[in-house]
């Protein structure tokens, strides 16, 4: 199965939808390329990337490999400073990966963790609204 990457219509939000199992790192590389293609076309000052891992079952070794691929092997655009990242999961391993992503070797990413898709989406939308308001106030 593949990771589906999509931009929510008319929003600065990209969602990764993970399958139950990752078969290879190529799936992750393909997803980061898809994300980067979307990001490079987006003029928005802030872009949220939400990793929906609710269905994903993963072991520690595969998780570390996936984290390295996601955070250090992406194409141009995958490390865009406009990106803000969230993950949806109740898995302690995914939460561990989110904490690890803050380390320099994994790109210094701050990853917000949410239990539900709705919470992640609401947070991203509120943050984007705040950014738009700040942008208007500073004009």
* For range 97-123, the mean pLDDT: 91
What would the pLDDT profile of 71-89 be if each residue is shown by its tens digit? 777 676 667 889 999 999 9
What CATH number corresponds to the domain at position 37? Answer: 3.40.50
Check residue 77 and give its pLDDT: 61
Sorting pLDDT into bands at 50, 70 and 90, what band is 112? very high
Nearest in space to 128 (alpha carbons), one of 45, 18, 16, 22: 45
Count up the domains in the chain and report the number. 1
Range of the domain at 73: 4-137
* For range 77-104, the mean pLDDT: 88
- Whole-angstrom distance, CA of residue 56 vs CA of residue 19: 6
Higher pLDDT, 120 or 59: 120
At residue 53, the 3 state secondary structure works out as coil
Check residue 134 and give its pLDDT: 82
Check residue 37 and give its pLDDT: 92
Higher pLDDT, 33 or 71: 33
Determine if the pTM surpasses 0.75.
yes
Contacts for 94 with CB less than 8 Å, ≥ 6 apart: 53, 56, 58, 63, 87, 113
Check residue 50 and give its pLDDT: 97
Tokens of 114: 């949410």
Sorting pLDDT into bands at 50, 70 and 90, what band is 42? very high
Nearest in space to 38 (alpha carbons), one of 72, 74, 89, 62: 74
Q: How far is CA 99 from the centre of its chain?
A: 14
What would the pLDDT profile of 60-71 be if each residue is shown by its tens digit? 888 888 888 887
């Amino acid at each position: 199965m593949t990771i589906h990457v999509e931009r929510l219509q008319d929003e600065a939000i990209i969602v990764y939808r993970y399958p139950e199992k990752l078969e290879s790192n190529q799936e992750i590389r393909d997803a980061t390329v898809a994300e980067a293609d979307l990001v490079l076309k987006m003029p928005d000052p802030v872009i949220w990337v939400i990793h929906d891992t609710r269905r994903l079952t993963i072991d520690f070794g595969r998780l570390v490999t996936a984290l390295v691929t996601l955070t250090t092997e992406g194409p141009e655009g995958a490390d865009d400073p406009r990106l803000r990242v969230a993950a949806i999961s109740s898995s302690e391993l995914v939460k561990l990966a989110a904490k690890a992503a803050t380390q320099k070797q994994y790109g210094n990413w701050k990853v917000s963790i949410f239990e539900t898709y709705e919470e992640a989406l609401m947070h991203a939308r509120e943050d984007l609204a705040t950014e738009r308001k700040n942008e208007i106030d500073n004009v």
